[in-house]
Structure 1
Amino acid sequence: MRVRAALTALVTVVAGVVLVAGSASAAPLLSDDFADGDAAGWSTSGGSWSVSGGAYRQSGLSSDARARVGSAAWTDYTVRARVTPAAFNGANRFVAVVARAQSATSYYYVALRSTNAVELKRLVNGTATTLDTAPLTVTVGQSYVVTLTVAGSRLSAAVDGAELVSASDTRFTAGQAGVATYYAGAAFDDVVVETVGSAPPTPTVPPTEPPPAGAADGFASVAALGLSGTTGGAGGPTVTVDTTAELLDAIDTTGPMTIQVSGRITISSKQGVRPNKTIVGIGAAPTIAGGGFDFYRSSNVIVRNLTFVGAEDDAVNVGQESHHIWIDHNTFVAPVDGSIDIVRGADYVTVSWNHFAATDKSMLVSHSDGAASSDVGHLRVTIHHNFFDRSRQRHPRVRFGEPVHVYNNYFLDNELYGVASTMNGGVLVEGNYFSGVPFPCFSAGGYADSGPGRLVQRANVFVDSGPCEVAGTVVEPRTYYPYTLDSAATVPARVTAGAGAGKL
């Protein structure tokens, strides 16, 4: 039996994968992955409970059903489980995780409702009171990592790593943990109970306060390679350009400069940009047409608030050991090749809040399977809050780079695939929303002719999408920089409202 009163390792459930780390500051109380085929130590009330396929399943659909475990003396703790709704018998049904259970009819619980909501509730002698609620898409057959924390009078619940509901209540101070359904079938797995206070391992680089609004974040903010982050043209003059000649002269100027692009400027192919530049669109519809920007051993450059249309090659190419490049709030339309390439030993790049409007090859990280000599140990890239809007592929396609942090992006109807990690790349896919994506992630099997990569996924939402293929482990981005993860459920609204040119 895998229920244990004490553990020597902290077990963390992330998007259906059980990860075991070193001992933490708080004592784990219980862990059950049901891999031994039984549910010894659990007591049930109502429903039809069984263990099969490595999960604890409740298949009855005609009543309430509850299963409890642990000690009535447990006080402040977190209970976490991987919850997969199997069926809802009618409207407004739910599956739930339970804490501080006094009996089969008195406890706190967090419910995933068929009405697309998450609710934090108190049940007293069978009478329920809602303490807090939030919207959440709840899909039959999709797994959710549901966490309920009870600490003193504070109650909080998270889904896929993002806290969604919280409240203060003093009715119950101690009790068992458990799971429950209401006229619904479900599978419960990887149940972990641990005392409040546990934390992930301390990063090798202590986190700092998040950057102020308008400043680079992610890898572009990291102090490395002689720079304290990415500041672009700060400290230099500001010029406004509205002709091809003015733009090309400005980006070829030595020294810091802020270049304000006004109107539509047509350029050919990819034009080189020297270090220490901010290139930012101003006014109505600032556009770069026909060509794009090329970074060759360049650094400390910001590209913001521009629409790139019809680039005859790549719209933005970050290459040849360029570093500290921030590509933010741009729109990419119909490039002949890629929207953004990050290749040939480039490093410390952030791609944020961009709109890829029905592009084909959206983003490439490393250009070739034969580029190990230039790319291994480089290509650290952050990709967040981008709208991959019916774009076909490469969101991104990665070789060698680690970590490539893909978080809080909105993937909509991507025809070929979402993210591909190949050639031993290390990619963390976190807190994204995938809708209508047949292949959200490739990794273990490689992609096309490229060998396998490593990919960890957690806290993502998949709607009308296939599974995300995972493999191996990946260096945590938090060892380099701090960040705040939005709930994946909020990503479509937030990203569509804020991503792209004209939305600074």
Structure 2
Amino acid sequence: MKRSRWIITGAAIAASATLLATMLTGPAYAETLFGDTFDDGDANGWSRSGGSWSVVTDGSPALRQTSTSANARILAGTTSWTDYTVQARVKPITFGSSARTVGVAARVQSSSAYYALVLTGGGAVQLQRVSGGTATVLSTAATGAGTGTWHTLALSVRGATLRGSVDGAQVVEAADSTFGSGRIGLLAAYASASYDDVVVDTATAGPSPSGSTPPKTTSPPPPGNCAVTGSPAGFATVTAWGQNGTTGGAGGPSVAVDTAAELLTAIATVGPLTICVSGTITLPAGMYDVTSNKSIVGVGSTAGITGGGLNIGLPVSAVTTPPADAVRNVIIQNLTFRNASDDSINVQMFSHHVWIDHNDLAQGYDGLIDIKRGSSYVTVSWNHTHHHTKNMLLGHDDGNGAQDTGRLKVTYHHNWFDATPQRNPRVRFGEPVHVYNNYYFYNTDTGVACQNTAGCLVEGNYFEDVEEPVTNTYAGPAGRCVARNNVFVGESGTPDCSGTVQEASAYYSYTVDDPNAVKAIVTAGAGTGKV
């Protein structure tokens, strides 16, 4: 059974917390209570009150409400939820007037009693208390949000404190204790809109840094004292596209960075450079370009990046062959990524020879590691991903075959996909995509989803409590997959695979560990502080 929504019960949360306590050290993280991406093509599990709701394609599958002649609400979740954040992407399409609204709801008692965070037709955002069908505005701010554009709304309810964020920045706050618990909802008052990527978790929506340019440093950072550990396996080792393997900043100088300004200056520097990151660096919200021939290495076990993400690739364009100036030869190792406003790591536009290794990634907005738009010869290894929904995407969308067909050659090995519901990875067009010796734990939607003519070789992995571990019929056009020598334990299902796939051994040599030992090997070795 394919699922794009999930609800975690109190018992499951307790069990998950107990397991995590035995496996992880460090701070506690938010629990995901519910999510829906509508990728399965329906809104089953939601209860409708007014309006006309259906799943359509709006870039990707999304829920749309088309009526502009009534109040429309659709609800999900449980009445016992108390303190949580509901987040969704919302795209207003038509407002009946400047006073009409679209948005999200929390602590829903009924279709006429709840808290709401809404965008108005007049370009404002409002935090509302709706009681008896009457809306009281508790806080408001100007946003300039218009129709035809996606915006991310997040409504946090904590005790009597209510906070609302738009596109990662907190804009409204109020105190009100009328409603103490309740379900979540999507709203449209005499307006039409699309909705996608609904997530409910126990994290708090808070302010994100604004702007994209950090303050400049007044003196250059000192030389660094770090180095990449080990060497890649898989596609990052292949000689292709004028590049002999992946060496990052080898042969160049090193630099130590511990501020946003220093990091952003270093990743933009032309030429080979090893960048030694110390401590947690907070970036302003946004994606920041990494130039070719860079090694970005965390020092010790506490180095990381929060707030923004790293983009390895040229700006998006319609070119269909690798440009001569495509970004190449980049290594990212031993870093923690948290709270990215977009992707944590994005590889795009024919970037090649990239090695993403021994990182810890969680709690981002979109993908933790996305690879798309013709990129190739990439290895993703020994990473620990957790507390996140959309984990790893390979291939932009179903309509991007002109750039992606014959490319997207990626190896995923010895990663710990830890209760990440979907995209572990989700693959389009790439072949061969080699997925071996990874540990999958409690991925409630899918493990490997191989779609739209992609060819996936899935071998030597350990699947624990993964209902749909491998499939080539998840959503959209089918792909091809070969699953062999994998271990399935607990409540794991069986592979849903068909077709033939190119062998990875035609490109590189590799050794597959005994799949029965993979859980122990990966949990001991994946993530930061292990190199």
Q: TM-score, normalised by structure 2?
A: 0.54
Residue 284 (structure 1) shift: 4.2
One of 214, 218, 235 as aligned partner of 2:234: 218
Alpha-carbon distance in 2 for matches of 1:415, 1:284: 29
Q: Is the Cα–Cα contact under 8 Å of residues 301 and 528 in structure 2 kept in the other structure?
A: no
Pairing 1:323–2:352 present = yes
Alpha-carbon distance in 1 for matches of 2:268, 2:308: 16
One of 387, 396, 415 as aligned partner of 2:416: 387
Q: State the match for 2:269 in structure 1.
A: 253
Q: State the match for 1:501 in structure 2.
A: 528
Pairing 1:485–2:512 present = yes
Q: State the match for 1:463 in structure 2.
A: 489
Over aligned residues, Cα RMSD in angstroms? 1.1
Residue 213 (structure 1) shift: 7.0
Q: State, as a whole percentage, how many aligned pairs show the same letter.
A: 55
Matches within 5 A, 1:129-140: none
Q: Is the Cα–Cα contact under 8 Å of residues 319 and 344 in structure 1 kept in the other structure?
A: yes
- When residues 351 and 451 of structure 1 are mapped into structure 2, their CA distance, relative to the original with a 3 A threshold, is same
Q: Is the Cα–Cα contact under 8 Å of residues 216 and 231 in structure 1 kept in the other structure?
A: no
Q: State the match for 1:235 in structure 2.
A: 251
5+ long unaligned stretches in structure 2: 1-227, 314-325
SS of corresponding position for 2:520 = helix
Alpha-carbon distance in 2 for matches of 1:284, 1:428: 32
Q: State the match for 2:479 in structure 1.
A: 453
SS of corresponding position for 2:252 = coil
SS of corresponding position for 1:338 = coil
Q: Is the Cα–Cα contact under 8 Å of residues 384 and 407 in structure 1 kept in the other structure?
A: yes
Residue 283 (structure 1) shift: 2.8
5+ long unaligned stretches in structure 1: 1-211
Q: Is the Cα–Cα contact under 8 Å of residues 338 and 363 in structure 1 kept in the other structure?
A: yes
After superposition, what is the alpha-carbon deviation per residue over 1:424-453, rounded to whole angstroms, capped at 9, x for unaligned?
10000000000000100111xx223x1000
SS of corresponding position for 2:521 = helix
Matches within 5 A, 1:91-490: 214-267=230-283, 268-296=285-313, 297-443=326-472, 446-448=473-475, 450-464=476-490, 465-490=492-517
Q: Is the Cα–Cα contact under 8 Å of residues 333 and 357 in structure 2 kept in the other structure?
A: yes
Alpha-carbon distance in 2 for matches of 1:261, 1:288: 9
Alpha-carbon distance in 1 for matches of 2:258, 2:416: 28
After superposition, what is the alpha-carbon deviation per residue over 1:383-418, rounded to whole angstroms, capped at 9, x for unaligned?
000000111111100000000000000000111110
After superposition, what is the alpha-carbon deviation per residue over 1:79-102, rounded to whole angstroms, capped at 9, x for unaligned?
xxxxxxxxxxxxxxxxxxxxxxxx
Aligned AA for 2:398? D
Residue 367 (structure 1) shift: 1.2
Q: Is the Cα–Cα contact under 8 Å of residues 439 and 519 in structure 2 kept in the other structure?
A: yes
SS of corresponding position for 1:326 = strand
SS of corresponding position for 2:300 = strand
Alpha-carbon distance in 1 for matches of 2:427, 2:305: 26
Q: How many residues align?
A: 290
Residue 219 (structure 1) shift: 0.2
Alpha-carbon distance in 2 for matches of 1:408, 1:441: 14
Greater than 4 Å deviation, 4+ residue runs = none
SS of corresponding position for 1:285 = coil
Q: TM-score, normalised by structure 1?
A: 0.57
Q: State the match for 1:150 in structure 2.
A: none
Q: Which structure: greater strand fraction?
A: 1
